[in-house]
Amino acid sequence: MPFVNVRSKLLHRIILTASLIVVVSFAVFSATIYVLERQDLQDNVARTLATTGNNVASGTGNWFQGRLLMAKQAADAIGTSRDSLGRRLIS
């Protein structure tokens, strides 16, 4: 009987050791995946924010340039109409 008891304890130790190895392996694998995914997510968010910021800045700049062009054209049209009105009044 003592031999069976020793054999049972040895088997329990082997199973416990194998279980611990499996659990530690899964923990390390999960931690590695988590770190890689977190870094990838941070890179994607930073890239998306940079792209969005560039697009917003470009769109705002284009809008202001359009408004400035409209104001210049309106000023030119007013200047041209005053010149033509002035010339008509003088003629």
0.75 surpassed by pTM: no
The span from the first CA to the last CA of the chain, in angstroms, equals: 133
pLDDT at 6: 72
pLDDT band at 91 (very low <50, low <70, confident <90, very high): very low
Segment 72-86, tens digit of pLDDT: 999 888 877 766 655
- Here the tokens at position 60 are 């705002």
Return d(Cα 63, Cα 58) in angstroms, integer: 9
**pLDDT tens digits for 14-33?**
999 999 999 999 999 999 99
CA distances from 58 to 1, 21, 33, 36, 63 (A): 85, 55, 37, 33, 9
Confidence at residue 28, expressed as pLDDT on a 0 to 100 scale? 98
In the chain, what's the furthest Cα-to-Cα distance? 133
